[in-house]
Amino acid sequence: MRNIPIHQTDLKAFLEEKYHQYNCRHFIATDPIQIPKAFEEPGDIEIAGFFTATIAWGQRKTIINNMYELLRRMDYRPFDFIMNAGKADMENFSNFKHRTFNGEDCIFFIQSIKNIYQNHGGIRHIFEKAYRQEGSIEAALTSFRNVFFEIPFPERTQKHVADISKNASAKRLNMFLRWMVRDDKEGIDFGIWKGIAPKDLYIPLDVHSGNVARKLGLLTRKQNDWKAVLELTGNLRQFDPQDPVKYDFALFGLGAFERF
Q: Could you please report the per-residue DSSP string of 182-206? A: ---TT--S-----SS-GGG------
Final residue of a structural domain among 172, 195, 218: 195
pTM: 0.95
Final residue of a structural domain among 195, 212, 227: 195
pLDDT at 91 over 60: yes
* Residue (of 23, 42, 77) closest to 186 by Cα position: 23
The pLDDT of residue 163: 98
Q: pLDDT (tens digit, 9 = 90+) per residue, 201-230?
A: 999 999 999 999 999 999 999 999 999 999
Beta-carbon neighbour count of residue 69 at 10 Å?
12
The pLDDT of residue 9: 74
Q: Which domain holds residue 64?
A: 31-195
pLDDT at 199 over 70: yes
Same domain, 4 and 91: no
Q: What percent of the chain has pLDDT over 90?
A: 90
Same domain, 49 and 103: yes
Predicted confidence band of residue 2 (pLDDT cuts 50, 70, 90): very low
Domains contained in the chain, number:
2
Same domain, 211 and 132: no
Q: pLDDT (tens digit, 9 = 90+) per residue, 8-40?
A: 779 999 999 999 999 998 889 889 999 999 999
Same domain, 44 and 83: yes
Tell me phi and psi for residue 255, to 5 degrees: -80, -45
Same domain, 15 and 50: no
Q: pLDDT (tens digit, 9 = 90+) per residue, 95-128?
A: 999 999 999 999 999 999 999 999 999 999 999 9
Kindly provide the residue ranges of all beta strands, DSSP E only, lying in 43-125, ordered along the sequence. 97-98, 101-102
Tell me phi and psi for residue 102, to 5 degrees: -110, -170
Same domain, 175 and 218: no
The pLDDT of residue 1: 31
Q: For residue 55, give the DSSP letter.
A: T
